[in-house]
Structure 1
Amino acid sequence: MQLYPEISSPAYVIEQNLLLSNLKLLQRVQQEAGVEIICALKGFSFYHVFPIVKQYLAGSTASSLHEARLAFEEMGMKCHAYTPAYLPSEFPEFMKYASHMTFNSLNQLEQFSSTAKDQGISCGIRINPEYAEVATDMYNPCISGSRLGIRRSDLGSTLPVNVEGLHSHTLCENDSYVLERTLAVIDAKFGDLLHQVKWLNLGGGHLITRADYDVDHLIHVLLTFKAKYPHLHIIMEPGSAVGWQTGFLKSSVLDIVHSAGIDVAILDISFAAHMPDTLEMPYKPRIRNASSEPEVGKPTYRFGGMTCLAGDYYGDYSFDEPLKIGDSIIFEDMIHYTMVKTTTFNGVNLPDIGMIDMHGNYQRFKHFGYESFKDRL
């Protein structure tokens, strides 16, 4: 079965109408809750659509010099910035692209904040509330011994000089009720310090655009918190929520092999190189026109990637009809935390990047080849 014959395989494809739907919902939260929502480039760096994003969101947040420069060049505005440690050699250039800079430690604050403040940059520190509802330790910034953020016990009753904001990021694809409980902890532990700052950044992990997310409750939670701290400017920086359910990764079946009673379809993509979160999180990606749980009596396949890594596979999926070599396989929801994490391990080529516009027309933005592989080595 051939799907989207006009799109070369493999390719990451964003659908403009779905992106706009997400952006309009995020804009509604901004307007009704009186907060600022910015796009986290670590989860969504699809810069080809930044001109659209900036029409709805207040800006972006960067985790590195390169992300900050990308935001400045492609979105046309300075970004918020946070990284576990700024490089002294990069810091002068980093400041050119940032309006806000958050520091991960008191050492980094002391080293860089005066210089940043002299350039008109608002400085903050990342706090660790020591509370998170994240199931996977790899994504939990509050595990014992975490290097991310400053604990309340390491701060006095008065914030260090130059600090104008606090930044907390403890969520990972969580809902508004987790945020509500997290805010209660922040209030209890850092409430006295909130009176000393101008802004509070609540980080990312707010999956506002998920179908079952209670947006009205989120707005209520934010308005309630703002009523207690009316002087605070509240910032949220989701990445996944921007790209959530906005597009797919098209792939094709190259071969079908039979191994110990299992049919394995070899694809022209790699789970390890092109969808690493499926193995790291882990989670089972959805495939269009397939059942994610094997069904007795139906053709069932395990899918193997292009690399020689033994674990570069996922399965099993059932279909109504047997697969054939050349068939299209569409992995749903593959725009956030996918293309930002790709590698060329084994020299595998990177998927194209493109968009289906509001009129159903496909535009390819980028195609990769040998130079993309060589440039990384």
Structure 2
Amino acid sequence: MKIPSPCFVLDEKRLERNLKLIDHVQKSAGIEIILAFKGFAMWSAFPIVRQYMSGATASSLNEVLLCNEEMGVKSHTYCVAYADDEFDDVVAHSSHITFNSLSQYHKFIDRVPDNVSVGLRVNPEWSDVETELYNPSSPVSRLGISSNDLVVLPERVEGLHFHVLCESDSYALEQVIQSFESRFGHHLSNIKWVNMGGGHLMTREGYDTKHLIALIAGFKERHSVDVILEPGSAFAWETGDLHTTILDIVDNGGVKTAIFDGSFTCHMPDCLEMPYRPKLGVGSSEEVSGWHSYRLGGVSCLAGDFLESYWFENPLKIGDSIIFKDMIHYTMVKTSTFNGVKHPAIGILMSNGEFELIKEFGYKDFKNRLS
């Protein structure tokens, strides 16, 4: 079957490769690694994920319900703040519930059943994240409780949770653990588990998984606690691409812009927010002498819906394919239908080499998000 345009295409073989590596880490370190929906929530691929992972983490009622329905388990749940009219549904479908603040803990703790494990998110105040927009470890961050405010653990708290990394390596985690132990170490003898959040990009080439395994095993041994990791990017890292087609080429002021049938604003917002420059299936993000330069522009009417020049060996023309590499993690989950721009289809390149179209989107999908 021909791949439509635009379309997110997940490569089943690559996903399984990542899952096997993640499974090796969790078994070798004696920990639990769960899928973070905020990074990868393509539930048509969950049957493969379930072969290797036993759970998932959710940060909203909708993600909680997705975990129960499509992963077949109750979720590890952390929300920045729980809505009063949703909390009972959230906690009924959760195995773990983590509060972002002491005020939220005090508001809801009496409504948490005895069989649900209670945790608190804390801020270890160290991170290697350089982009301030994505850095949750600031002393004034809205995410997590500071050590100054957590002198004594409240009743029923069985775990502590932190999440301050983003596509980081194990040596960054080592620094976080040192900061975490210095600020919250005196609580560790009184809890059962520590959730070290996400940002552990163990499936990236060159990542030192042996160091990660030894680091976490050492932490477990020192403190006699269970350890949970919940990476998002690691699961879907380099597992799929966004296929698009050039609709027009605009030449203004000596700058050529290739307009494709997708959008950075609608479909790849990290490219503008981070900012992040994806690699292409054909072409270069770096200047190549003698090659042809083009901006790449989306079809939304937002003036900033473009990325600065990419270089191509041959001149581009209408109808050419533009493939944005590695667009599955933290991309599909952030899409919008702003401007009514057509949402990319979703498909899977199966392990037998055949393409399976999972879903296409149309007018009703756009209309039903509005009123």
Task: Please report the TM-score for the alignment, with normalisation by the length of structure 2.
Answer: 0.98
Q: Which amino acid aligns with 2:118?
A: C
Q: Which amino acid aligns with 2:82?
A: Y
Q: Aligned partner of 1:134: which letter?
A: V
**1:123 is aligned to 2:118:** yes
Q: 1:90 aligned to 2:86?
A: yes
**In 2: Cα distance, 1:360 partner to 1:209 partner:** 22
Question: How far did 1:296 drift?
Answer: 2.7
CA contact (8 A) 1:68 1:81 kept: yes
1:207 equivalent among 201, 207, 216? 201
Match of 1:36 in 2: 32
Gaps of 5+ in 1: none
Q: How does 1:188-267 map to 2 (within 5 A)?
A: 188-230=182-224, 232-267=225-260
- Of residues 138, 141, 151, the one that matches 1:143 is 138
Instruction: Write the letter of the residue equivalent to 1:370.
Output: Y
Query: What is the CA–CA distance in structure 2 between the aligned matches of 1:349 and 1:122, rounded to whole Å?
Result: 42
Query: Aligned partner of 1:281: which letter?
Result: M
Determine the structure 2 residue equivalent to 1:370: 363
Instruction: Write out per-residue CA displacement over residues 169-223 of structure 1, whole angstroms, 9 at most, x where no aligned residue.
Output: 1111110000011101111111110111000000011111111211111011111
Question: SS at the partner of 1:326?
Answer: coil
Q: What TM-score do you get using the length of structure 1 for normalisation? A: 0.96
Spell out the pairing of 1:1-377 with structure 2 (5 A cutoff): 6-118=2-114, 120-156=115-151, 158-230=152-224, 232-377=225-370
Residue identity matched to 1:214: D
Query: Residue type of the partner of 1:173?
Result: E
Contact residue 126 and residue 175 of structure 2 kept, 8 A: no
SS in 2 for 1:150: coil
Q: Counterparts of 1:316 and 1:212 in 2: how far apart (Å)? A: 29
Superposition deviation, residue 58 in structure 1: 2.4
3-state secondary structure, aligned to 2:45: helix
Name the % identity.
52
Give RMSD over aligned pairs. 1.0
Residue identity matched to 1:64: S
Distance 2:92 2:318 in 1: 51
Moved more, 59-68 or 91-100: 91-100
What does the per-residue CA deviation read over 1:57-109, in whole Å, with 9 as the maximum and x for residues that have no partner? 12100010001101110111111000110011001111222100100111111
Return the letter of the residue paired with 1:301.
Answer: Y
Asked if structure 2 preserves the Cα contact closer than 8 Å seen for 1:114 and 1:162, the reply is: no
Matches of 1:234 and 1:178 in 2, distance apart? 17
